[in-house]
Amino acid sequence: MTDEQDLGTLIRDALPAHPAPRALQDWALAQARAQSASPESAAEGAILARPGRTTRNAGRWLYAAGLVAAAALGFSGQQLAGVRTRANRERTELVSQLVDTHVRSLLAEHLTDVLSTDQHTVKPWFAGKTPFAPTVVELSSLGFPLVGGRLDYVQGHEVATLVYGRRKHFINLFVWPSNATTGESNDAFAEAYHGFTLRHWASGGMQFWAVSDAAASEVEAFQHAYTTTP
């Protein structure tokens, strides 16, 4: 230690970062979630217990975001350009359903059926509910904290949905076995649909669709994080 040392290095070495405790993270996620609820529940207070503390009224910023999303959906339906082939049409139908489901999950305060940031809680939750088990990976160190899981129905089939957070956005990752729905593909590609970003890929006999209103680059980063994390 007699060597000359950089003061900044010494200081950084002496001052570790303090990650927020799990309880605080869960509470903050629940707060953000509560604010995506309907105006009625926001008006009623959407009161959530703080960890070991008092309760507070939640605001409603995400509600406004939901309204914007709903307005965007008003333009959905069948008025999509470039629908030429049957495959295209099927895929467009699938994309539209996935975006509908994504928006509904944010609006209806039904983001998750199982709310947990623990992959070992979320994965077993799907067992017995779906005939297939989605791979649940922990990506919070990469900036995509796991929020929970949910069951959805897309084109009449059960779909396992994993919910991850990204800044103030959510990413719904829809997973189902290949050959279950129409409009499937084994290619990886990205789609933009009325302000939403979708990324599709197939792996291990499963179809994956990530849907979010986060920036396209972030959804791409999410796909990379999910597919490269063992």
Partner 1 sequence: MLPHLDAAYTLARYLTRNTVDADDAVQEGVLRALRYQHTLRSDADARAWLLAIVRRQCYDLRGTWHARAEVVSYEDAPPLTLVDHGESADVAMQRKQVRAHVQSAIDTLSDHLRETLILREVQQCSYEEIAMITEVPLGTVMSRLSRARARVAERLRGIVDVGDLS
Does 217 bind partner 1 (CB under 8 A)? Our answer is no
Name the minimum Å distance from CB 121 to partner 1: 19
Name the minimum Å distance from CB 160 to partner 1: 23
Q: Is the dihedral of CA 20, 26, 30, 33 positive or negative?
A: positive
Among 45, 167, 182, 189, binds partner 1 (CB under 8 A): 167
CA distance 26 to 222: 21
Could you give the angle at the alpha carbon of 81 between the alpha carbons of 78 and 84, nearest 5°? 95
x/- string (CB under 8 A) for partner 1, residues 1-40? xxxxxxxx-xxxxxx-xxxxx--xx-xxx-xx--x-----
CA distance 8 to 2: 16
Closer to partner 1 by CB, 119 or 155: give it: 119
Within 13 A of 7's CA, how many CA atoms are on the CB side?
0
Amino acid sitting at position 221: A
Among 66, 134, 165, 177, binds partner 1 (CB under 8 A): 165
Closer to partner 1 by CB, 120 or 168: give it: 168
The answer to whether the CB of 197 falls within 8 A of the CB of 213 is: yes
CA distance 145 to 229: 13
Name the one range near partner 1 by CB under 8 A: 159-167, 178-186, 194-202, 219-227. 159-167
Q: How many residues bind partner 1 (CB under 8 A)?
A: 41
Does 143 bind partner 1 (CB under 8 A)? Our answer is yes
Does 44 bind partner 1 (CB under 8 A)? Our answer is no
Could you give the angle at the alpha carbon of 74 between the alpha carbons of 65 and 165, nearest 5°? 35
**Contacts (CB under 8 A) with partner 1, residues 47-76:** 50-51, 53, 56, 58-59, 61, 64
Look up residue 136 and give its two tokens. 């649940």
Name the minimum Å distance from CB 165 to partner 1: 6
Amino acid sitting at position 199: R
CB atoms within 10 A of CB 41: 16
Instruction: Name the residues that contact partner 1, by CB under 8 A.
Output: 1-8, 10-15, 17-21, 24-25, 27-29, 31-32, 35, 50-51, 53, 56, 58-59, 61, 64, 143, 145, 165-168
